[in-house]
Structures are given as C-alpha cells and as structure tokens.
Amino acid sequence: MSAHEVLVGLHDLSKHYGEGATRVDALKSIDLELRAGEVVGVLGPSGCGKSTLLNVVGAIVEPSSGQMTLGGDLVYDGRWLRHDLRRLRLDKIGFIFQFHNLIPFLSVLDNVQLVLRLAGRPAAEARSRAIELLDYLQIGDRRNAMPAQLSGGQAQRVAIARALANRPSIILADEPTAALDTERAGIVMDLLRRVATDRDAAILVVSHDEKIFGRFDRIVEMRDGGIVEQPSRREAMAS
C-alpha cells in the first residue's frame, strides 16, 4: 500500500429512514476521502449524523444512495456489491469503541486471539499475532491478566490490539477516549497515530472529547447530516 492512498471514498452518499412526511435524512450527499496514514476527527452535535456515518463506512448500515469504496474496492453503488459483508468487515475494518467491550471471562491474550480464530486463523498463528500486537502496544506484560484487572487505559490498548488483529487498513473509533483522563486519552491518541503511520491505516474518530481535538490531521464537522471539512489543527494554528 502506498502512502496517502485513498482507503475510504464516499461520493454523494446519503442515508434516510422512512418515506414521505416521516422521512429523516441522516446523511446528505456526503463526499469524503480518507487516506493512508491519516487520522481524521468527526465532530458535531448529537443527532447530526456522526454515528450513522461511522456505521455506513463500517458496512453495518446500508446507505440509501451514492457510492462507497473501501480499501480501493467499490463496495456500494446504489446497492451492496459485496454479498458477504461480515467478511468485508473482517478483511478491511477494525472497530474501537468508547467502552472496550472486552469479554470479561477471557484473558487479555484470549480476547485478541478470539478475533483471529473467528476469522479462521490457526491457533498458533493467532497466538503469535496477538502477542505481537500486545507487545507493539506496550501491554504485553499484561497478556495473562483478566479485563477486570486492567486500568481504563490498559483496557483500551487491548481493544486497539483486537481492532488491529486482522490487519485492517481502516480503523473506525467511536468516542475512544471519552472514558479516559487527559493523560490516558493522549496515550491512546498517540497509539492511534503510531498505527496510522506504521501500518498505513486510515483512522476515523468520532468524538466530543475536546482534549484530543489537537491530535487530528483533519477535522470534519457535521451539521444536519452534512459535512464541512475544517483545516488541520496545524494549519489553524499557523494562520
């Protein structure tokens, strides 16, 4: 994958619910590109369409019209062009949530391995990959711990490891730092930046968390289902 390759492309993408007088336009003619190595923040008030955007890019919610490419493949053009959306998500997309959603009765290592086993990877390969990721995220020393024994920041690192397990090129994060203090939120964002750079991944982060706004390459502001791209924080500070 080349640096700056377009990994997410949305063209005139819309999503509505209902028809006629009860129709609600959740997304309106969205045009957006995310490139390899880029960390993009999505901001806006509640109900503006942020979560719908994340769910559409994650192939969880079907758009109503438009086009979408993921990882260079046209996957939606007025209809889904891929029949196995579960496989699409496994191959291309990693998800990180506000609450880590680790399985409480599995160890840290097993939580990460499970994703790989569900994808059909052999046990030895799954274990090796999980250990590699936990070491990469500097939490390998806690691999035998249970989720209840972790701090919030540690648990979120494990969640990031799980999201990276299948080597996705697209990472979708929904309020990943909202439950963390300033220091731990900064650590998580630094890790996401490292992932974007080291793995040539595109990372889309929905957030209300003002303490991380300066960590984005670019900010997309949403209002009433539409988007307005803002300058990067570096550009804003230089102007």
Over range 37-43, report the average pLDDT: 92
Q: What is the pLDDT of residue 47?
A: 80
Whether 200 maps to a domain, the answer reads yes
pLDDT the model gives residue 79: 93
CB-based contact 161:139 (threshold 8 Å): yes
CA dihedral 116, 121, 126, 130 (to 10 degrees): -40
Residues linked to residue 9 through DSSP beta bridges, in sequence order: 33, 69
Assess if residue 70 is contained within a domain.
Answer: no
The CATH number of the domain where 109 resides is what? 3.40.50.300
What is the mean predicted confidence (pLDDT) over 208-231?
A: 82
Question: Which residue range forms the structural domain that includes residue 231?
Answer: 35-61+87-238
More confident site: 9 or 183 = 9
Residue 29 lies in a domain: no
Average pLDDT over residues 47-60: 90
φ, ψ of residue 123 in degrees (nearest 5): -55, -45
Chain centroid to CA 221: 17
Rounded to two decimals, the pTM is 0.85
Instruction: Tell me what the mean pLDDT of segment 147-169 comes to.
Output: 88
Is pLDDT at 23 greater than 70 in this prediction? yes
Q: Which of the four pLDDT bands, split at 50, 70 and 90, describes residue 165?
A: confident
Number of domains into which the chain is organized? 1
Residue 80: what pLDDT?
Answer: 94
Rounded to whole angstroms, the Cα distance separating 149 from 156 reads 13
pLDDT of residue 229: 64
pLDDT digits (tens, 9 = 90+) for 88-99: 888 889 988 777
- 226 within domain boundaries: yes
Does residue 159 lie in a domain region?
Answer: yes
Q: Tell me whether residue 208 is in a domain.
A: yes
Rounded distance between C-alpha atoms, residue 216 and residue 97, angstroms = 18
Q: Is position 136 within any domain?
A: yes
The rounded percent of the chain whose pLDDT value lies above 90 is: 43
Residue 8 structure tokens: 């997410």
pLDDT in tens, 123-145: 999 999 999 999 988 889 999 99
Whether 44 is in a domain gets the answer yes
DSSP state of 142: G
Mean of the pLDDT values across residues 40-51? 86
Name which residue leads in pLDDT, 232 or 43.
Answer: 43
Please indicate whether residue 57 or residue 232 has the higher confidence score (pLDDT).
57
Cα 204 to chain centroid, rounded: 5
Q: What share of the chain is helix, strand, coil (3-state, %, to 5)?
A: 40, 30, 35
Say which residue, 9 or 151, is predicted with more confidence: 9
Question: Across residues 146-174, what is the average pLDDT?
Answer: 89
